[in-house]
Structure 1
Amino acid sequence: MVVTSHKELLNTDSTTGLWIGEFTDPYYEFRDKNYTVVIASPQGGQPPIDPMSKLTEHVTGSNRRFMDDDFAKHALKHTLKLDEVSAADFDAVFYPGGHGPMFDLASSTTSAKLIVEFLSQHKPVAAVCHGPAALLKAAEMEPSILKGKKVTGFSNAEEKLVFRSDTMPYTLEDKLKEMGAEYHMALLPFSSHVETDGLLITGQNPLSAGPTAEALIAMLETK
């Protein structure tokens, strides 16, 4: 799992980072199926957590499980540096969201190369909410990653509803379309929605995090 190291937003003192439920929901989907999970981030160490994701209305069962899981908390606090990992050592990669990836993972050459490596080795790449921002840099290197591919991610409508539009340098939906992707979303904002196209699996929003992980597991098990 690759998480963000970025917490600053534009035009505000509020901070962002990793949306914790988008990490914990998939994390336990993988753990409960006996997959080994290794966590990496651009800077390594403790990633910033979006304070909004810790509010009561956003807390999921996996959040509560995480708070009592010393092993998982230690793993998230001590992420590997992204340049220390190689696709050859793993079966798949998963990018959780939060607004942080829109800044660092969207422009990370190291992350982009990792995604290209996974796909070139015929291994799946999954991302949820703002996690698909990591695909943007990868698609600069290899346009076929997004061009004509069915994808989803946090929508323009959802961005407006969370009042973060003015704090972001761009919107993910628009960028994915600019890169030639065939963007799809749920009929209603904040409904679960997952797209699978070849080795690429994307989820639209926080509610899609668990289902995106389930789709990735299903793909791995068929292999």
Structure 2
Amino acid sequence: MSVLDWTFIVLLSSAILLLLCGFLCLFLKMKYSRTYRLLQKKQPKNKKKRKKWRQHRRQLQKKAQKSLRNMVLLFTFGLLFFVASFYARYYQLTHLNAADGEIIVQTYFLVDSIEKDLISIQNGAKPVGLKDKFHSMTAMLVSYGSQPPSTGLSTAGQQRLSKYYANTKEFGMNLNSQTIESLEKKETIANYLEDTKKLKNSQKVIFKQFKVNESALKQKK
């Protein structure tokens, strides 16, 4: 399990424990208050017994007040931990973990690099000099695209990443299978440039959904 998984479990478990202790303090407070009220009705006439009666009454009053303070503190911290646990879960559902983040970043750079090389071929460069480079980059795309997305994400997030990974893998496999002769055809290059455009559009949607700073990535190119 990831750090966020453990954070959610620890916070939620702590919240439940604190709230249970808070209810215990509430029960004790009610018990002491009830005993105090009953004791009020049984004031002894004997002076010696009345002194003990007052001491016992003060003790019950102090215990009731202490239980009330503890109850308020436990409920307060219990609710805070409860809110924090669900914020941790919400963050996990809406943000990429380290593995998915690495895949998105690396495929972003790979697709961009492949697109530039395809444009250079379209502008007259010889594909023979780029074949080995294509082979290396497409192999990496296939590897990244074969990974499953994190199960900690929301269902919609997992589906979006799964589709993007599958498209990335398919693009890498198809481009890797092309011969030098086929890469010399303008139609082939145009088709693959259209594919890179679609992948980049998918990346933008993912960046927006998972709050990835694309501007920071562009500065690293």
In which range does the TM-score fall when normalised by the shorter chain?
Answer: under 0.3
The structure in which a higher percent of residues are strand is 1
- TM-score using structure 1 length: 0.23
Query: Rg bigger for which structure?
Result: 2
